[in-house]
Structure 1
Amino acid sequence: MKGIGTSSGIGIGKVFLFKEPELKIIKKDIENPGLEIQRFENALKDTKKEIDKLHELSLKNIGEKEAEIFIAHSMMLEDPEFIAGVKDKIENEKLNSEYAVNEVVNFYVSLFEDIEDEYLKARAVDLQDVSKRLLRVLMGIKSADLTIIDEKSIIVAEDLTPSDTAQMNKDMVVGIVTELGGRTSHTSIIARTLEIPAISGVKDATKTLKHGDYIIINGDNGEIIINPSSDEIKKYEEKAIELADFRKKLLTMKDRESISKDGHKVEIAGNIGTPKDIDKVIENGGEGVGLYRTEFLYMDRDRLPSEEEQFELYKIVAQKLGTRPLVIRTLDVGGDKELPYLSLPKEMNPFLGYRAIRLCLDRQDIFRTQLRAILRASSFGNIKIMFPMISNIKEIRDAKAIIEEVKEELRKENIPFDEDIEIGIMVEIPAAAIHSRIFAKEVDFFSIGTNDLIQYTLAVDRGNQDIAYLYNQYHPAVLNLIRMTIENGHKEGIWVGMCGEAAGDKKLLPVLLAMGLDEFSMSASSMLRARYDLQNYSKEEVQKHLDTLLSLPTAEDVEKYIDENIIK
């Protein structure tokens, strides 16, 4: 069997088949709404007590940062809109609590699931987790229990919720296999935190694997061996020891420079979504933040964040980084990332629609508030501003003009800011890459957003599983656009970074090094490995392969060439 490796390492043990009890929600008419509302309120209190216990358990078993999710879960149960929505259905539609809760939750989940951003889809998982716990309390059904694992086991499940992972005995769980999820799912993040090998996207895993089966999983390549031979077990046990030793070796890379074999220095930075993420970037030796996704400040709330709220959060991250750079991407919502309180239009093609810089230039009230907050925070660190989804010169000039107006406002108010703050753009639309020589005259830096650049270049919806095989970062057209962008940026004297997932790809690292990429921004968990790999490549040696590599006809040919001639 095979899936997607989401947490590195080898896991060897018996299958612990984990299945949640089925919740059959039946619609019932009630005669006394007052009593039913009381039953709902009592269930809220009991569910909150359970979540508080899970918070304590998670603090003990996983860590403080990871346990914070249960604070968010508790807050979901206190959300006035959610509570009012359920009570309204009970009182006015005479519905039973279970059905009312399910209806309201499904409405909110649909809002999140329509969004293509994986991080935001994960918020739908959190909401479902909380609601299932509330429904189980209402229905008197006990949760499945992972605390009973008392031997070395590999959990096999459709998916795991934060509540499930909080119960795991990390001394006994040696691997996780799920049918759903990806690298940004909660399960994958927790698995990497605990250094437990994990594989996701394994079709029919809960049907094929039986409770008690002995299996080996490889979290690096997604391979699963069912009932292995003694020779296979011995081979993988030795490999597990090698990997454990390698992890220790990676820790020695934390305070070293990011430098190639032939002395070429680059910057390895981190991508973050919230101020809390910065601690992991620093722990893993990050040389800065190449992408701060500010849209998460606008999500999970019923109003726009104020200037003061934003300023305080940007300031915290800037101060923690000190002199290290912090690239803040301006608001990237709209289209596929909905903000219910903005009443954005529904669109046929949201990825090509009213979003990112297009929305900000239209809604200057929102844009100016954010720019004021960023500029004010710039006096506390090395902040840079980056605009998303730029497709033409006018967008750059209009956005820069607004920045100048905001700067003038701050000067009049005697509010300090970095007068020389750098301004850059995301290169994620093919037009921006093709026209990058002209764009480079307008800005101080480029950051290549490969997630969307691949999607737009290859006309592949990256959220569509049926055509996922077409979404490929090794495609020669994509790599040629990346090379063109880097070369054009350098011709105009600006630095070029990359903040898409490709920046953390160990096969592409030497290729991007040879192309001259200045900054690699990736998830915190990938940084030490990237720094380790970098020291094994010579920029000049790999450059000799570039012309041949970029003239190959297919993505498969490119990957094979890298494997055979560069990675070796």
Structure 2
Amino acid sequence: MRTQDSSGRTPAAMTYDTSAPRRLLGRLRDVMAGGGQPQERLDKVVTLIAESYDAEVCSCYVMRAGEVLELFATHGLLQSAVHNTRLRVGEGLVGEIAAHARPIALADAWSHPAFAYRPETGEELYHSLMGVPIVRGGRVVGVLVVQNREERTYHEEAVETLETVAMVLAELLTVAQLVNRQELLPVDGNALLPLRLEGMGLNGGVGIGVAVLHQPQVRVGRLVSEDPEAEHERVRAALSTLRAEVDGMLDDDTVKTHAGDGFGDFRDVLETYRMFAEDTGWITKINEAISSGLTAEAAVQKVHDDTRVRMAHVSDPYIRERLHDLEDLANRLLYHLVGGEQVSSRGALPDDAVLVCRNLGPTELLDYDRAKLRGLVMEEGSRTMHAVIIARALGVPVVARVGGLLTKVEPYDPIILDGDHGQVFIRPGDDVREAFEKSLKHRRRKLAAYSALKSEPSVTRDGIPVDLMLNAGLLMDLPHLDETGAAGIGLYRTEVPFMARASLPQVEDQQQLYRRILDAAGERPVVFRTLDVGSDKVLPYWHGQPEDNPALGWRSIRISLDRPAILRAQLRALIQAAPGRELRIMFPMISEVSEFVAARRLLDMELEREERLRGPGALPSVLKVGTMLEVPALIWQLPQLLSRIDFISLGSNDLVQFLYACDRGNPKIADRYDVLSPAVLRVVDQIARQCRTAGVPLSICGEMAGRPLEALALIALGVRTLSMTAGGIGPVKMMLRSLDVGGAEEYVRGLMDLPDRSVREKLRFFAQDHGVVLS
């Protein structure tokens, strides 16, 4: 980079010797391998760096407790400032580097708005500054800075060399333990007291066991290389071994057995993971780091640390989740490079292991003995994370987004996770443990009772049938059809396989997937919702512009109608998957009738194309076309819409969100409004009445359909089809088989005229008084 001084003159650039990096790393290696106390070696290192950069100053700041950077060593500044000068993260240029984990190179540091002058250091003589973060394990542990009196422009190559030096220095700071880890623990992390931590439940269930810390980092012992060509060859060989290892996982019989009918999604995850191992950008960066003088393993570690701290600031959830796959890859590659055997905990786990980690790659989870895993707890993670997808398939409870987890738990601590409510209990007391053990036993009894109901008819006490359907989005969801006795799939989210791939799936791939779904369902109906992306569902290969309100922006059918080729390809695949069979297609996020008409026109074009190319026998025997009702504007267009559709599905999650102008993903207001409010009940009643009059079947497929109390209200208002996750079918079926609709209908209609914020408690008392089973 080049900067100008205040007079407009461009400062003289620092002369750069391309052979300097290797000489500097060699001298650093000698200092680090030598004897003496860690502080003495650190003092020698900063002097050596200053000499190599022809700089008057080189300083090393180290992260202390409370997000404070302390000056630990300097060449050029006043020695009295060492261990006395401290800067908060974000304070001054040093704090800026630590806060954003990015280098800074300035010809005139004093003119930068973030500059903070500390008189005790004596740095008023020095104008130019170059600084880089010292990163270890994806965390900033310090900052390395060089300064000069004259205004100097630092070459990009000089910045990259200093980053490489900082990586070597990170090893000294970590191994020497200049800052005791205990100092960085929060107060309650030192006392071995019971703790309750809040997180996000990503897979339901309760796990009781002992904490097993997933710590895949490999100690990189040799940092500086003597022979770059030999290091390049080592990386090539290790990558070849790694790819063969992933191929072996794809053919692993135990993976197929545990994945069951969901192996197709297992395979998608692993194949996507393998593509990362072929990524040329990642491999090129590793080779460039080797050429600068690092060993193969040090180069892999440097590239990964650089990637991690940069991607930590990326807001796109899908891109951030792919970071876990890269971390998994880096760790596996390091294991091969250091010559150690691939870590696998099969057979080494305690019988009741709860895996605790910051994050996890998909193959790392498969390394553990699934028969001994009782749960997974993560500091990070999300629903689209590949390891979470696999955990769901294996039935492992998951709690994620647990802040400060790794600073508060020690290996083999007793631990309980509650995946239903997103809670983690570390070192729980006997009373808590007993309560959860009772809860676990009660849960098992309830599951057994629900299982016993799966072959029983879904009919109320007064003989009214209610269809309970399954919401699905992956092949691994399909076994739940038989496990729960569901009447069919009321909502198949076709976008999930799109999100699990690195590129847009071809028509043939989609067709094969949809055919497998129809085959698994047999005679039971399947409602395919067309691609519903945008908002919080991001595809890695579509790079749209950032939006202020993505939930209200370019998403769902709006994208599909603007990209008709993509929608037509999906409709073609659906038609080709169902020759001679019933096919149900549903368009999402319809805001006005004209949008449905436009989407239906594309469907008709594909039907005509298929008939023209393959004949009438290639078409579905029955075609039913419907729409989601999620946008309130559509409520006032129902008469015009209902004459054009075969069915309608009310998406309660988005509809209620839009009715109340309330972001359901915002924890401050997510619970502010209740779906069991008179307003929501009145809206459902209005829609249900119009659908009955038009003879158009209505279903509810949002979260309220899968909760017994809410389902009671919906059934009372005339809804006869509910679609939900597999876990909701048993409880809702038990409730409706104990319900007399006649009495409930009169009571619920009376609640709609109340001014109350919610009628939840009144409805709960009604259920108790009338023997309706809610749990």
Residues in 2 aligned to 1:471 and 1:128: alpha-carbon distance in whole angstroms: 40
Match of 2:609 among 376, 387, 409: 409
The alpha carbon displacement at 1:395 in A equals 0.7
Residue 523, structure 1, aligned to residue 718, structure 2: no
- Counterparts of 1:308-387 in structure 2, within 5 Å, are 308-334=508-534, 336-339=536-539, 341-387=541-587
Deviations 1:173-223 (Å, cap 9, x if unpaired)?
A: 545555555777667766666666655555545445555555555555556
Alignment CA distance shift 1:471-1:172 (3 Å): farther
Residues in 2 aligned to 1:339 and 1:419: alpha-carbon distance in whole angstroms: 33
Deviations 1:93-121 (Å, cap 9, x if unpaired)?
A: 8673444456678899988x6258xxx98
Alignment CA distance shift 1:196-1:407 (3 Å): closer
Moved more, 142-151 or 431-440: 142-151
- Counterparts of 1:139-288 in structure 2, within 5 Å, are 148-150=348-350, 152=352, 154-158=354-358, 161-169=361-369, 172-180=372-380, 199-200=399-400, 202-208=402-408, 211=411, 213-214=413-414, 220-221=420-421, 236-288=436-488
Match of 2:281 among 85, 92, 115: 85
Alignment CA distance shift 1:437-1:244 (3 Å): same
- Counterparts of 1:74-153 in structure 2, within 5 Å, are 74-76=270-272, 78-79=274-275, 82-90=278-286, 96-100=299-303, 114=316, 125-126=324-325, 128-134=327-333, 148-150=348-350, 152=352
Match of 1:497 among 675, 689, 699: 699
Alignment CA distance shift 1:229-1:409 (3 Å): closer
The alpha carbon displacement at 1:421 in A equals 1.1
Instruction: Considering Cα pairs closer than 8 Å and 6+ residues apart, tell me whether 1 or 2 has the greater RCO.
Output: 1
Checking the alignment, whether the CA contact within 8 Å between 2:345 and 2:369 is kept in structure 1 is: no
TM-score normalised by length of structure 2:
0.62
The alpha carbon displacement at 1:496 in A equals 1.1
Residues in 1 aligned to 2:667 and 2:325: alpha-carbon distance in whole angstroms: 22
Max Rg structure: 2
Residues in 1 aligned to 2:622 and 2:394: alpha-carbon distance in whole angstroms: 42
Aligned residues: 561
Residues in 2 aligned to 1:238 and 1:49: alpha-carbon distance in whole angstroms: 46
Checking the alignment, whether the CA contact within 8 Å between 2:656 and 2:680 is kept in structure 1 is: yes
Residues in 1 aligned to 2:427 and 2:224: alpha-carbon distance in whole angstroms: 51
Identify the residue that residue 51 of structure 2 maps to in structure 1.
none
Say what the alpha-carbon RMSD is for the aligned residues: 4.2
Alignment CA distance shift 1:99-1:226 (3 Å): closer
The alpha carbon displacement at 1:503 in A equals 2.2
Identify the residue that residue 38 of structure 1 maps to in structure 2.
233
One-letter amino acid matched to 1:432: L
Match of 2:591 among 371, 378, 391: 391
- Counterparts of 1:433-448 in structure 2, within 5 Å, are 433-448=635-650
Alignment CA distance shift 1:343-1:170 (3 Å): closer
Match of 1:421 among 612, 617, 623: 623
Identify the residue that residue 543 of structure 1 maps to in structure 2.
745
Residues in 1 aligned to 2:578 and 2:273: alpha-carbon distance in whole angstroms: 37
Aligned residue for 1:270, secondary structure, equals strand
The alpha carbon displacement at 1:293 in A equals 1.7
Aligned residue for 1:347, secondary structure, equals coil
One-letter amino acid matched to 1:558: V
Checking the alignment, whether the CA contact within 8 Å between 2:204 and 2:397 is kept in structure 1 is: yes
Alignment identity in percent?
Answer: 30
Moved more, 31-40 or 448-457: 31-40
One-letter amino acid matched to 1:499: C
Moved more, 122-131 or 358-367: 122-131
Checking the alignment, whether the CA contact within 8 Å between 2:321 and 2:381 is kept in structure 1 is: no
Identify the residue that residue 506 of structure 1 maps to in structure 2.
708
TM-score normalised by length of structure 1:
0.81
One-letter amino acid matched to 1:509: A
Checking the alignment, whether the CA contact within 8 Å between 2:529 and 2:585 is kept in structure 1 is: yes
Alignment CA distance shift 1:477-1:215 (3 Å): same
- Counterparts of 1:446-465 in structure 2, within 5 Å, are 446-465=648-667
Deviations 1:30-61 (Å, cap 9, x if unpaired)?
A: 99876555343333334446656777596399
Structure 2 unaligned segments of length 5 or more: list them.
1-195, 293-298, 768-773
Alignment CA distance shift 1:204-1:390 (3 Å): same
One-letter amino acid matched to 1:417: L
Residues in 2 aligned to 1:433 and 1:450: alpha-carbon distance in whole angstroms: 13
Checking the alignment, whether the CA contact within 8 Å between 1:332 and 1:355 is kept in structure 2 is: yes
Checking the alignment, whether the CA contact within 8 Å between 2:582 and 2:621 is kept in structure 1 is: no
Alignment CA distance shift 1:238-1:24 (3 Å): closer
Residues in 1 aligned to 2:386 and 2:502: alpha-carbon distance in whole angstroms: 24
Alignment CA distance shift 1:48-1:497 (3 Å): same
One-letter amino acid matched to 2:570: Q
Q: Quick check: which one's helix share is greater?
A: 1
One-letter amino acid matched to 1:355: R
Deviations 1:132-185 (Å, cap 9, x if unpaired)?
A: 544565578986958543354545554555445435555655455555557776
Alignment CA distance shift 1:82-1:251 (3 Å): same
Checking the alignment, whether the CA contact within 8 Å between 1:254 and 1:285 is kept in structure 2 is: yes
Moved more, 135-144 or 473-482: 135-144
Identify the residue that residue 564 of structure 1 maps to in structure 2.
765
The alpha carbon displacement at 1:346 in A equals 4.0
Structure 1 unaligned segments of length 5 or more: list them.
none
The alpha carbon displacement at 1:281 in A equals 2.7
Identify the residue that residue 488 of structure 1 maps to in structure 2.
690
Moved more, 460-469 or 323-332: 460-469
Residues in 2 aligned to 1:100 and 1:533: alpha-carbon distance in whole angstroms: 55
Alignment CA distance shift 1:250-1:136 (3 Å): same
